[in-house]
Amino acid sequence: MFKKILFSNLGIVLILLTPAAVLAQRTIPSDDQQLLYEIYKELIEYKTTMSEKNNTIAVEGMAAWFQAAGFEDEDVFIGGALPHKGNVVARLRGSGVHDPIILMAHIDVVEAEREDWNLDPFVLNEDEEFYYGRGTLDDKAMAAIFTANLIRFKRNGFVPNRDIIVALTSDEESGGSNGINWLLENQPGLMQGALAINEGGYGLLQNGEPLANTIQIAEKIFATFQVTARNPGGHSSLPRDDNAIYDLAEALLKIRDFDFPVELNDVMRISFQRQSEINTGQRAEDFGALLQEPIPEGSLERLSREAAINAQLRTTAVATLLDGGHASNALPQSAVATVNVRMLPGSDPQAVLRTLVRVVDNPSLEVVYRGGGRVSHPSPLTEELLGAVESVTEAMWPGTTVMPTMSTGATDGAKMRIAGIPTYGVSGLFVDRNDMRIHGQDERLRKKSLYESYEFLYRLAENLSN
Ligand SMILES: [Zn+2]
């Protein structure tokens, strides 16, 4: 028995045939909760950071679970851009009535230093309420859940009406070998699907009780611009008003004071509608007011003051890097600032560039677009998807609102949307929004949330393929 392992880099394709026996045997526990626990613990304890490079070892470990559960070798693929940047794609075959559903999660994590943490970040620690470790939330919870659920489907004899594909990938957080991009480009046949479920959506807790279950439908797009001021300079003992640093500073303050116009897509309209339903008092009224035309000034002003809400309303621009001058005793000959823009989905970077030029309003300054993410559009909020999420949410957490959202940061969802696969960030992982710890110290996840999400994602995939 051989397992096909494929890696390619810069057009060179390397096929390694590794004896399947290399994958150490796993024994599938009969208890569902134990099954998830063992997979989760194993995954947390692989150091899948940029510096430790254990991604391929981790995906081989997950492949060993699929193998132990009886998946055929041809249905478990391992490959990636580099030998240590492995991805695994496993397939549960269905009746083929519909195109497949893809359950995707990244297995790489951001760095975590032992001395920065109270606990070893690469040991699954626990107390009564929480599991602790790098990746317990982002994104090894979903990766472990999808792996365990595919095994449960098979064990339970479930025959879906479409293939259910689990894709566990590398380099979502950082590194130039993004697994989703690599799979889409190099193994498009493996990644054909009618829709995908990904990270990016969470359940929101209020006083420990479920309030809303979010679905990430869209993402803002990262773009980088540069503003440069130039000047002949001179001796600093003879200062003049014209000065590259002052000119640049003025331009940046204009950018600070400028608000891009409010633009609400359909997703955000539904989201704000539901926000108005789950909030109370002035806040509920303010969210409701966002749907009026024109939006009442007071409501818009109050909500725009909150960074997290302001970022949902409009494209934002902020100075993030600065460089200027060449000597402490010379008038600066140049000053350069990087302005990071998070564009609403569907925005055109060239239109943003024209806006920035207009805002800076100084023809002697140069404003250029330095590049960024590709334009992606929101996934359609279909009745099939929304209906499934709503019915499973209602069954598990009665009275909890399902809320579509747009992420202000980036996930692999945008890459899938660009490839034409509608992708939805939904996890049923309930977290305290004010204490998420993603990428931070002592990352953790409520035990109850992990096991409830396990059940939620099982029922959701079942519902979407029944
Ligand atoms: Zn993530």
pLDDT of residue 8: 66
Strands of the sheet containing 316-324, edge to edge, are 316-324, 334-343, 221-230, 366-372
What's the domain range around 295?
A: 221-372
CA 139 to ligand 1 center in whole angstroms: 5
pLDDT tens track for 302-353: 999 999 899 999 999 999 999 999 999 999 999 999 999 999 998 999 999 9
- Res 397 pLDDT > 50: yes
| 250 and 368 inside one domain | yes
Residues whose beta carbons lie less than 5 angstroms from ion ligand 1 = 138-139, 199
- Please list, in sequence order, all residues whose beta carbon lies within 8 angstroms of the beta carbon of residue 461, skipping any fewer than 6 positions away: 101, 103, 149, 153, 160, 164, 197
CA 126 to ligand 1 center in whole angstroms: 21
CA 381 to ligand 1 center in whole angstroms: 22
CA 328 to ligand 1 center in whole angstroms: 43
The domain boundary residue, chosen from 317, 352, 372? 372
pLDDT of residue 174: 85
pLDDT of residue 206: 87
Confidence of residue 14 (pLDDT cuts 50, 70, 90): low
pLDDT tens track for 50-75: 999 999 999 999 999 999 999 999 99
Max mean pLDDT among 1-10, 22-31, 408-417 falls in: 408-417
CA 43 to ligand 1 center in whole angstroms: 14
| 241 and 186 inside one domain | no
| 167 and 27 inside one domain | yes
CA 92 to ligand 1 center in whole angstroms: 24
- Res 111 pLDDT > 90: yes
- The three-state (H, E, C) secondary structure of the chain, written as one string: CEEEEEEEECCEEEEEEEEHHHCCCCCCCCCHHHHHHHHHHHHHHCCCCCCCCCHHHHHHHHHHHHHHCCCCHHHEEEEECCCCCCEEEEEECCCCCCCCEEEEEECCCCCCCHHHCCCCCCCCEECCCEEECCCCCCCHHHHHHHHHHHHHHHHCCCCCCCCEEEEEECCCCCCCCCHHHHHHHHCCCCCCCCEEEECCCCEEEECCEEEEEEEEEEECEEEEEEEEEECCCEECCCCCCCCHHHHHHHHHHHHHHCCCCCCCCHHHHHHHHHHHHHCCHHHHHHHHHCCCCCCCHHHHHHHHCCHHHHHHHCCEEEEEEEEECCCCCEECCEEEEEEEEEECCCCCHHHHHHHHHHHHCCCCCEEEEEEECCCCCCCCCCHHHHHHHHHHHHHHCCCCEEEEEEECCCCCHHHHHHCCCCEEECCCCEECHHHCCCCCCCCEEEHHHHHHHHHHHHHHHHHCCC
Q: Is residue 385 part of a domain?
A: no
| 161 and 31 inside one domain | yes
Q: Is residue 391 part of a domain?
A: no
CATH code, 264:
3.30.70.360
| 357 and 426 inside one domain | no
Q: Is residue 91 part of a domain?
A: yes
Q: Indicate the range of 9-13, 92-96, 427-431 predicted with least confidence.
A: 9-13
Q: Is residue 205 part of a domain?
A: no
To the nearest whole number, what is the mean pLDDT of the chain? 93
| 50 and 193 inside one domain | yes
CATH code, 421:
3.40.630.10
CA 252 to ligand 1 center in whole angstroms: 32
* Mean pLDDT of the 77-98 span: 96
- Res 364 pLDDT > 90: yes
pLDDT of residue 434: 78
CA 80 to ligand 1 center in whole angstroms: 19
| 264 and 342 inside one domain | yes
Number of domains in the chain: 2
CA 228 to ligand 1 center in whole angstroms: 34
Q: Is residue 139 part of a domain?
A: yes
Q: Is residue 401 part of a domain?
A: no
Q: Is residue 213 part of a domain?
A: no
| 181 and 35 inside one domain | yes
Q: Which residue has the tokens 């209020």?
A: 206
* Mean pLDDT of the 7-35 span: 70
Q: Is residue 394 part of a domain?
A: no
CA 406 to ligand 1 center in whole angstroms: 15
pLDDT of residue 22: 53
CA 106 to ligand 1 center in whole angstroms: 7
- Res 287 pLDDT > 60: yes
CA 138 to ligand 1 center in whole angstroms: 5
pLDDT of residue 19: 43
| 51 and 162 inside one domain | yes
pLDDT of residue 435: 82
CA 279 to ligand 1 center in whole angstroms: 28
Note the pTM of the prediction, 2 decimals.
0.89
* Mean pLDDT of the 86-92 span: 98
| 260 and 331 inside one domain | yes
Alpha-carbon span 160 to 149, nearest angstrom:
13
Confidence of residue 176 (pLDDT cuts 50, 70, 90): confident
Confidence of residue 2 (pLDDT cuts 50, 70, 90): very low
| 457 and 310 inside one domain | no
| 174 and 227 inside one domain | no
**Measured between alpha carbons, how far apart are the two ends of the chain, in Å?**
33
